[in-house]
Amino acid sequence: MTEPSPPLSPYQKKLFALLAVATFFEGFDTKLASLVLPMLGRDFDAGPQELGAVLSISGVGMMAAFAVIRLADRVGRRPVLLAAVGGFALLTLATAFASSVATFTALQFGARLLLVTELALAYVLLGEEFPSALRGRAIALLGAFASVGASLPAFFLAPLEDWGIGWRGLFAAGALPLLLLPVYARVLREPALFTARREVAPTGWRAEWRAWGALVSPALRRRTLGVSALWWTVNFWSATALFFFTLYAFEERGWTAADLQWLPLGTIPIGFIGYAAAGFAMDRVGRRPTASLYLVGGTLAAAFCFQATRDAWIYAGYFALIGLGGLWTIASTLTTELFPTPLRATAMGLANNLIGRTGLIVGPAVAGALAEHTGSTGDAVTRLALVNLFCVPLVWWCLPETRGIDLEALDATDDEMR
């Protein structure tokens, strides 16, 4: 029987609202680079392989974020989150003034490093502040706001092109969180769970090595492998099926920026429903069954979208892909619940950023090369989406079910193992 949902405190409500706004802009800003690929190619005279390299190189910044995220287990969630929000907004604004592919890529390297830092810590903060009965739904709903943010740039691109502002205007809009930074600084506080653990946690370089070593210790090795594999798959799938959609639609289906304006009509409601459904399913039937369902669905939706020949079917397939992006929140929930408080941010950084984000780097490079080899971006993405199916057995073999887990009890178990 599902545990009754306790009422939220005023702080929990404010925390969710602030994290939802930050995550909305994380989705908005993350989507921009892939959305404007055709315009970058036009303005900077770049081909498919060079454009794929833009996403791959800037994706390295997402890998490098593991070192920044690790700081949240040492100095606190709050200061690192505030630095990430302000930093990604500044670098996104600077990207609006990029004068070459190289400058664009360098700025997006830094922006993406901080974007994923913000997102990872938002999930960690929410997981530590919300009760277990609501944790899956809260994290999934937070991800739903990211999906809404990711859907909106497509709506604004055509009008900005008509006004002569173009893709640069989108990056300027993505810097709006700078205006809210004082509010975040005033409201956000450290989770009590983290504060209590920090008071007894060892410090120094030996403790640092022990923290990394604990993630591959016999007690945690299998779950570290499992969540890393899940994160790698989610990143690889997103980097091919989602990031290459605009290039596919423009080059193989003859779409224009005007056609993209219709996307938010479906991506906003379907994305929100898909993410929220992931949270509901996680809290009702479990994390592992939900992950498996979304992994298989991601493969089927990619094949449908990238093999469709009619616009209506392409729209429907893309809407499904956005909804199945709830995989991000499933992976975040599992990572939050599988590791004790002193290792939670470190585990997120290792599994998602250092290991998982290699999928985001490899994906565009492989998809771009395979598209040139086969002569079809659609065929390349369809083949590469099969990787999801290989991850399903690993989810069941490596990851224990965490539905309803008490994070304080998890910390107590960690103390006993030490």
**Cα–Cα dist 378/187, whole Å:** 46
Residues in the chain: 418
Comparing C-alpha atoms, which of 148, 387, 407, 132 is closest to residue 282? 132
Residue 394 has a pLDDT of 95
Query: Who has greater pLDDT, 372 or 323?
Result: 323
Phi, psi torsion values for 289, nearest 5 degrees:
-60, -40
Residue 231 has a pLDDT of 95
Across residues 251-262, what is the average pLDDT?
79
Residue 1 has a pLDDT of 42
Task: Report the mean per-residue pLDDT for the chain.
Answer: 85
**Alpha helix (H) residue ranges in 238-326:** 245-252, 257-260, 263-284, 287-307, 311-323
Residue with tokens 């944790």: 135
Residue 417 has a pLDDT of 46
**Cα–Cα dist 110/68, whole Å:** 12
Spatial CB neighbours of 237, under 8 Å, sequence gap ≥ 6: 298, 302, 327, 359, 363, 384, 385, 387, 388
Give the pLDDT confidence of 116-147 residue by residue, as tens digits.
899 889 999 988 898 888 888 899 989 888 88
Residue 50 has a pLDDT of 73
Give the pLDDT confidence of 341-392 residue by residue, as tens digits.
888 888 988 898 889 888 877 888 888 888 888 888 889 999 999 999 999 9
Per DSSP, 253 falls in state: S
What are the tokens at 256? 């224009």
3-state secondary structure of 333: helix
- 209 contacts 121 by C-beta, under 8 angstroms: no
Give the pLDDT confidence of 146-172 residue by residue, as tens digits.
888 877 887 777 787 778 777 888 888
Residue 79 has a pLDDT of 94
Residue with tokens 């798959």: 233
Per-residue confidence band for 2, with pLDDT thresholds at 50, 70 and 90: very low
Per DSSP, 204 falls in state: S
Residue 207 has a pLDDT of 59
Q: Which domains does the chain have, with CATH numbers?
A: 10-417 (1.20.1250.20)
Residue 52 reports pLDDT greater than 60: yes
Residue 411 has a pLDDT of 67
Give the pLDDT confidence of 259-285 residue by residue, as tens digits.
877 777 888 899 889 999 999 999 999
Give the pLDDT confidence of 60-95 residue by residue, as tens digits.
787 888 888 888 888 889 999 999 999 999 999 999
